[in-house]
Amino acid sequence: MREIEGIVCTARSLVPIKQERLFGPRTGETPFSHQSFTTNGLIPFTDIQAAREALKELKERRKGLHLIYTGLAEVRMSIALRDDEFELLSNRKNFIVVAELEFGEMVLLGKKVAGVTGVAYAPVSNVELNGFKVITRYETAGLQMFGALYEVRRQGRPLHSYLATFELKRMKS
C-alpha cells in the first residue's frame, strides 16, 4: 500500500477545456519549482513554504496559462499496489482509479461525467476534468477499475491500474 499525504498547488483553467490541474514538486527537467502531480510520480509538497513558492510561480505564469484560479490543497491518497491490498480499502470511501500510462504519466480517474473523458472507453472520467468527483462506493470503484484496465489493454496500450482513495481539501493560501 502506498500512502501519499502532503500539499499540492491547484490551477484552474478554461482553455482549451475546463480543467483543474494539480502540481507537486519538480522531479524532472523543468525551469520551475513545480511539476504536474500526474507526471512527477504523485509526489506532493511536504514543506508548506516550498508549496507557497511554487504557487507564487504559478500565479506569475497565470496569464500565459489562461488560469482563472490558483490555490493550495491538502491531498491524501492510499493506493493498493497489489490485488491482495484491495480489501484494506473496503471500509473507506472516496475512490479513484490510478492508471499508469506510458512514460510514467498517471491519470486519476473518478466518477463518470457526461462529456468528460477518461481512458479508452472505460466508465470513468479524469478527476482533473470532472471537478474531482470520486467514486463513492468500494464495490463500484473495483468494477470501474477492472473495466478501465480491460478496455485499455484490449486496445493494446500498456497500463497498470490501481484502486485508491482520494481526498483533496482546499487550504487558504
Checking 46-55 for CB contacts under 8 A at 24+ apart, the result is 46/6, 46/7, 48/7, 50/25, 51/7, 51/8, 51/9, 52/173, 54/9, 54/23, 54/25, 55/9, 55/173
Question: How far apart are the C-alpha atoms of 152 and 108, rounded to whole Å?
Answer: 14
Can you name the residues that pair with 4 across neighbouring β-strands? 77
- How far is the first Cα of the chain from the last one, in angstroms, to the nearest whole number? 31
Predicted TM-score of the model (pTM): 0.88
pLDDT per residue rounded down to tens, the chain (173 residues): 999 999 999 998 887 778 999 999 998 777 888 899 999 999 999 999 999 999 999 888 776 767 888 899 999 999 999 889 988 998 999 999 888 887 778 989 888 888 887 776 777 889 999 999 998 888 877 777 677 767 766 766 657 888 899 999 999 85
| C-alpha to C-alpha distances, 138 to 1, 20, 121, nearest whole angstrom | 16, 25, 21
